[in-house]
Amino acid sequence: MNYKRVCCLWLIFIYLFTFIFLSGCWNYREIEDLSIVTGAAVDKEDDQFRLTVEIVNIEGGSNAKVASSIITSYGATMFEASRNAINILGKRLYWSHTTLIVLSEQIAKEGLVPVLDWLARDPEIRQTLNIVVSKEKTAHEIFHLPHPVFNVISFDLDNIFQNQGSVSKTPDGEEWKVLKNLATPGLDLVLPVALLFMSEGQLIPTFSGTAVFKKDRLKGYLSPDETRIFMFIKDEIKTGLLTNNVIQEDVPVKVTLEIIDNKTKMKPVIKGENIVMRISTITNVSIAEIEGRALDTGEEGSMELAGQFEDMLQEDIKNLVMHVQKEFGCDIFGFGNAIRMEYPDVWKEIESDWDRLFQSIEVVTESQVHIENTALSSKPIIVRD
């Protein structure tokens, strides 16, 4: 046996040995030994985390039905609570398919970081998971009631998020965005709000409105309608509805427009000592509904209609900004960030005093609404005597 060949064999042996025994991810696990967590709620009880998880459960024999079970475990930290669930289930919690985590109001008020760190650090948890604040007394009650339609509540709630584009009344709460927002100067965090909603005599979990944060602590809430305006300002609106009472011959007529697309520009303008935020929106819409007769939807009529909506939008934006400035004093719109981008030197000067400055900042709005079409009807319904 020559020298080369021996060397070659040794190399192959070392190679195989290292790649089999020293490789990083040795995690063979059978799927049935896991419990798949679809959603979780976190509460705090006497300095302990109360982790309530919804896990997939299979009911029935040959015609197996997918259902969910709710399990509660306690722990001093999130991870400990997660591992303590083994004592109840006999299986490890598997977090890779978790779609949302509901935090109690108390945790949100005390600060998100103790919860967020584990979510960001654990390799199983997806960065696209939604973080939600519960407006109810506790977070776990979101999961506790049987849902009339869905077996797995988290999947239903996730669907609400997936289709939020055509409602635009709940902001995004994806973990990676939350972490990014927290780290951005001149921008405060918002999270979606979960609550129970009475429908057909039954309480159903749903999302509604926005939770406003200062740093990582909860300050207050915005209503669903305010949320929509908020998303207008943030240029996050995709589609959605605009409803307004249009005065037609002294009679108010309810008109609904469907947003096709929207573009919002936020531009800080420095006027002497003052900083003015100019918010301009350009919205393309189509007429979705007119609850009245004889409204002109021709060229002139449309212009007038659009003008009334433009006024409404400008008013709403101004009101919301004022409301947030007075009520919370949190820069959830990212005005500070806009200044930082546009005038970095100015930002350096005002950064330390920004919390105070924000409350007095002036907003100038400019809105354009273009009615692109009137859907299937070119005229309102004609009713003759």
Partner 1 sequence: MFKGKEPMSNEQEKVTGTEDFQSSTVADPYDLMKPLSTSIDENINRMKDTLKGDNTVIYRWMGNKHMDSFRACLVFIYGMVDNEDINDNLVTPIMQADLSELPQDTFLERVMNTIINNMDVKRCLYMDTVLQSLFQGETLLFIDGQEQALIIRSKALLLRQITEPEFEKVMEGPREGFNEYLAVNLSLVRRKLKSPDLKFKFKVLGRHSRTNVCLCYMETLVNDKVLGELENRLDKIDVDAMTGSNVIAENIKDAPLSVFATIGSTERPDVVVSKVMEGRIVLIIDGTSKALWLPFIFLENFHTAEDYYTEFYFSSINRLLRIISAAITVTAPAVYLAALTYHQEMIPTTLLVSIYSARQGVPFPAVLEVLLLMFSFDLVREASARIPSAMGQSLSIVGTLILGQAAVEAKFFSSLVVIIAALTGITGLMVPKLKGVYIIIRTLLILVTSILGLYGFAFGIIVLFIHLFSIRSLGVPYMMGIGSIKPEDIKDTVVRAPWWYMNTRPKMFMGKESRRQSMDSRKGKSRL
Chain residues binding partner 1 by CB under 8 A are: 19-20, 23, 25, 27-32, 34, 36, 38, 56, 58, 62, 64, 66, 94, 96-97, 99, 124, 126, 155
Minimum Å distance from CB 32 to partner 1?
Answer: 5
Toward partner 1, which CB reaches closer, 89 or 346?
Answer: 89
Euclidean distance between CA atoms 2 and 314, whole angstroms: 87
Minimum Å distance from CB 158 to partner 1?
Answer: 9
Toward partner 1, which CB reaches closer, 33 or 235?
Answer: 33
Minimum Å distance from CB 19 to partner 1?
Answer: 7
Closest to 262 in 3D by CA, of 156, 368, 383, 137: 368
Toward partner 1, which CB reaches closer, 82 or 99?
Answer: 99
- Please, which residues have CB within 8 angstroms of residue 211's CB and are 6 or more apart in sequence? 108, 133, 135, 190, 191, 192, 193, 218, 220, 221
Minimum Å distance from CB 8 to partner 1?
Answer: 15
Euclidean distance between CA atoms 240 and 257, whole angstroms: 8
DSSP readout, 78-128? HHHHHHHTHHHHSSEEE-TT--EEEE-HHHHHH-SHHHHHHHHH-SSS-TT
Euclidean distance between CA atoms 189 and 212, whole angstroms: 6
Between the alpha carbon of residue 161 and those of residues 49, 153, 219, the distances in Å are 26, 13, 23
Toward partner 1, which CB reaches closer, 74 or 94?
Answer: 94
Minimum Å distance from CB 33 to partner 1?
Answer: 10
Toward partner 1, which CB reaches closer, 57 or 373?
Answer: 57
